[in-house]
Amino acid sequence: MKKVLLGLLAVTFISIGSTATVNADLARTDITGVVTDNHVAVNAAMVTAECNGGTRTDTTDSHGSYLVNFPSGDCPFGSTVKVTAQKNGKSGVSSGTVRGVTTKLNLAIVNVSIPEYGMVGALTAASVGAGLIFYTRRRQQQIGQF
């Protein structure tokens, strides 16, 4: 009788443990939102979500909605998610922090050309250089007046 009882207890503990493992494997983080272009839903846009080095993709439906999900261990609470949407040469990016089981990130796609980093760097350097020259000359004029 004791052997049967111990056997039943062992089976019970094993089944409880396997159920907990299955439930942990089913836990997920959903990233959802709507993609728009000039406030109009975009159908069939390619959406890519990145979280902690993992990537998931989806295509928007006729309402512009998308849904990607990560195992919760791959994209836990507090992680940063970056979502990119593209269609017909237009793209948009949105990012946010996972705050629960479902995180909503809406984004708009636009057709904007981004200047090369070299051009941005050159303009920044020129502005800083001009400011330093102006400051130095101004300082020299003030010192000469005393």
Taking only the tens place, the pLDDT of each residue in 67-104 is 999 999 999 999 999 999 999 999 999 999 998 888 88
pLDDT at 29 over 80: yes
What is the C-alpha separation between 67 and 27, in angstroms, rounded?
15
The model carries a pTM of: 0.59
What is the C-alpha separation between 92 and 63, in angstroms, rounded?
17
- What pLDDT does 70 receive? 95
CATH architecture of the domain 27-114 equals Sandwich (2.60)
For the chain, what is the mean pLDDT?
A: 78
Q: Which tokens hold the place of 92?
A: 């948009």
Domain range annotation of the chain: 27-114, 115-146
**CA distance readout (Å), 109 to 37, 61, 119, 130, 131:** 5, 15, 24, 36, 36
